[in-house]
Amino acid sequence: MVPNKFNKKILKRNLTAYAFCLPWFIGFICFTLFPIIFMFAVSLTNRKLNGKSSFVGFSNYAAMFQSPTFWNSLKITIFFTVIMMAVTTVWAVIMAMLLNHKQKLNGIFQFFYFIPSVVPTISLAYAFRTIFGKDAGLLNYVISMISGKNTSINWMYDPHTVYLVIFFITLFTYNTGQMMLVFRSSLNDVPRELYEACDMDGAGALRKFTMVTIPMISPIILFNSVTGCISALNGSFALLYPLTGENGDPNGMTQVLSLLIYKEAFSNMKVGYASALSVILFLIACLFGIIIFAFSKKTVYYEN
């Protein structure tokens, strides 16, 4: 009866493992899988915030695809995500390279570079709302001092400057600090010999950077960029809601999908429609997820 005993042992081991996984399993079913299915179901109804609902088929989607607000929001979401990813990645690499240059006081510099990442986003949002404010804003004050002319630009609400300001503010989010630390350790892992070989060839600093550093850390750059996309989709609400409000001022120029979802569900009380918007946001996230997964199979090494 050896095989039977053997099977029993395997069964027992499997059951033990499942017992450990039980919290995740319950959590996954209740807080992820069920909401996903439920979201699709609600998106086919005209559910209101007060709970009244009836089945309307795909009319939420039809309304959505005819709504200029939706198309604007979709465009802004992708624009915001991609640009935020690009500027935060570049800034994180710059800070990491500065910090990796061995000099005194690097510990203190890291404190200053990293600390904005762990303070509340909403505090930063309010700081910048006043720094870039029209009256008594710090930036206008400094410009007036330098130019000698009275400057009163409404940086946050001027269509010409709003993106400049918003993307500047993304440099202070958690994502940037996280990337900086990851880049610091991966830059340290670039083999010294490669730089020495460059020195022999008489290559300058810029050439070293483009020929050695960039290729060597490229997997990390790509991996960070794509995870940055996900956190841009998720974190944009906490950043933009206190900055520009649910309408994404000026003229919806900053109204990403998460803000529109909030507005439709709570101000317009159209929960069914907000669910349809959520489905789109979910699909965008899945698309990024698939890209990560395809990419990580190739370059990021998972054992087993």
Partner 1 sequence: MRTLKGKKRSAEILIFILKILVAFIMFCPIIWVFSGSFKDLAEFTTSPGIIPKKPTLENFSYIFNNSNYFIYIKNTVLLMVLTTFGTLISSSLVAYPLARMNFWGKNVIFAIIVGTMMIPNIALIIPQYIMFGKMGWLDSLLPMIVPAFFAYPYNVFLFRQFFRSIPKELDEAATIDGCNKAGVFFNVLVPISKPVFVTIGMLSCVFWWNELTQPVFYINSDKWRTLTIALMTTFMYTSGNAFVINWPSIMAASTLMIIPPMVLYLFGSKFLVGGIKTSGLK
Within positions 240 to 279, which residues make up the interface with partner 1, using CB under 8 A? 241-242, 258, 261-262, 265, 271, 274-275, 278
Amino acid making up residue 255? Q
209 part of the interface to partner 1, by CB under 8 A: no
Q: Which residues contact 129 (CB under 8 A, 6 or more apart)?
A: 156, 242, 243
| Position 70 contacts partner 1 (CB under 8 A) | no
- Identify which of 261, 94, 243 has the alpha carbon closest to the alpha carbon of residue 170: 243
Measured from the CB atom, the residue of 118 and 200 that comes closer to partner 1 is 118
User: Per rule CB under 8 A, is residue 114 in the interface with partner 1?
Assistant: yes
- Could you tell me the smallest distance in angstroms from the CB atom of residue 294 to partner 1? 12
Per-residue binding letters, 37-66, with partner 1 (x by CB under 8 A): -xx--x----x---x---------------
The residue among 166 and 274 lying less far from partner 1, judged by its C-beta, is 274
Task: Indicate which single residue of 70, 80, 128, 155 sits in contact with partner 1 (rule: CB under 8 A).
Answer: 128
Identify the CA nearest to 168 among candidates 182, 179, 158, 156: 156
Query: Quick one: 133 or 162, whose CB is closer to partner 1?
Result: 133
Q: How far apart are CA 119 and CA 64, in angstroms?
A: 37
115 binds partner 1 (CB under 8 A): yes
Distance CA 202, CA 198 (A): 6
90: contact with partner 1 by CB under 8 A: no
168 to 207: interface string for partner 1, x by CB under 8 A: ---xx-x--xxx-xx-xxx---------------------
The least distance separating partner 1 from the CB of residue 178, rounded to whole angstroms, comes to 5
Residue 211: what residue type? M
Q: Are 89 and 225 in contact (CB under 8 A)?
A: yes
3-state secondary structure of 270: strand
Query: CB of 271: closest distance to partner 1 in angstroms?
Result: 7
**Smallest separation, CB 105 to partner 1 (Å):** 8
CB of 210 to partner 1, least distance (A): 18
Q: If you search the block for the tokens 């996984």, which residue do you land on?
A: 21
Which residue in 6, 28, 58, 65 binds partner 1 (CB under 8 A)? 28
Q: Smallest distance from the beta carbon of 252 to partner 1, in angstroms? A: 18
| Rounded CA separation 176/228 (Å) | 9
Give the single-character DSSP code of 300. Answer: S
The amino acid at residue 106 is N
Q: Contact region for partner 1 (CB under 8 A) — 55-63, 155-163, 224-232, 247-255?
A: 224-232
Q: Closest distance between partner 1 and the C-beta of residue 154, in Å?
A: 15
Token pair of 123 as six digits: 């505090």
Q: What is the Cα–Cα distance from 232 to 85, expressed in whole angstroms? A: 7
> What is the DSSP secondary structure assignment for residue 249, as one 8-state letter?
S
Q: How far is CA 150 from CA 125, 129, 138, 144, 207, in A?
A: 25, 20, 13, 5, 44
Q: Which is nearer to partner 1, 84 or 292 (CB)?
A: 292
Give, in order, the Cα–Cα distances in Å from 6 to each of 17, 18, 62: 17, 19, 58
Task: State in angstroms the smallest separation of the CB of 290 from partner 1.
Answer: 9
**Closer by beta carbon to partner 1, 226 or else 253:** 226
Among 284, 285, 281, residue whose Cα is nearest residue 262: 281
